[in-house]
Amino acid sequence: ETGVTQTPRHLVMGMTNKKSLKCEQHLGHNAMYWYKQSAKKPLELMFVYNFKEQTENNSVPSRFSPECPNSSHLFLHLHTLQPEDSALYLCASSPGRAESYEQYFGPGTRLTVT
């Protein structure tokens, strides 16, 4: 138990659906991250928020829309996804953006796009 929770744990959606992934951290951290993990590929950073402000967008397609209403919650809104978007989506948090801070990861949401 890392203090970072993600819901749902599994999600199957069609290409025309709209769904949202939720991440919550109970660690009092100020920075939150979305990563995409695909088989046999390096972990891909998608978005970073620090004190609710987006600080990184790693050229992510607009069909992925993040939202950070406060420092404890992070959402990833999904619409008109493609089959290649099927992956494990991981949320992480850290105390802040200093180099000495490690990241704490949630268990991930396994997304399948049909």
Partner 1 sequence: GEDVEQSLFLSVREGDSSVINCTYTDSSSTYLYWYKQEPGAGLQLLTYIFSNMDMKQDQRLTVLLNKKDKHLSLRIADTQTGDSAIYFCAPKGGSYIPTFGRGTSLIVHP
What does the alpha-carbon distance between residue 66 and residue 74 come to, in Å, rounded to a whole number? Answer: 7
> 79 or 95, CB closer to partner 1?
95
Say how far apart CA 50 and CA 31 lie, in whole Å. Answer: 4
Considering only 78, 90, 111, 113, the residue that binds partner 1 (CB under 8 A) is 90
Residues in contact with partner 1, counted by CB under 8 A, come to a total of 28
Give just the sign of the alpha carbon dihedral 97, 92, 15, 70: negative
* Site for partner 1, residues 18 to 77, rule: CB under 8 A: 31, 33, 40-43, 45, 48, 56
Residue from 12, 97, 112, 114 in contact with partner 1 (CB under 8 A): 97
3-state secondary structure of 21: strand
- Pairwise CA distance, residues 15 & 75, whole Å: 19
Helix (H) or strand (E) holding 33: strand 31-37
Of residues 1 and 16, the one with the C-beta less far from partner 1: 1
Binding-site ranges for partner 1 (CB under 8 A): 2, 4, 6, 31, 33, 40-43, 45, 48, 56, 90, 92, 94, 96-108
